[in-house]
Amino acid sequence: MSDDPDKVWPTGLNLREAEEVHSYLIDGTRVFGVIALLAHILVAISTPWLG
């Protein structure tokens, strides 16, 4: 099972593939983060909370 040092267990992907899957996760998190931030700012402008 661990005869290929390039494999990332338990997924069976190799290192480059795993990093690519990971990059989609990171990109998605960043985009969703920015979107959520923008949406919160806009809501705070129209209906302010905390003060």
Chain residues that interact with another protein, rule: CB under 8 A: 1, 9-14, 16-17, 19-21, 24, 27-28, 31-32, 34-36, 38-39, 42-43, 45-48
Element housing 14 (H / E): strand 13-14
3-state secondary structure of 9: coil
Neighbours of 46 (CB within 10 A): 6
Residue 3 or 35: the one with the smaller Cβ distance to another protein is 35
Q: How far is the CB of 5 from another protein (least distance, A)?
A: 16
Question: Least distance to another protein from the beta carbon of 18, Å?
Answer: 9
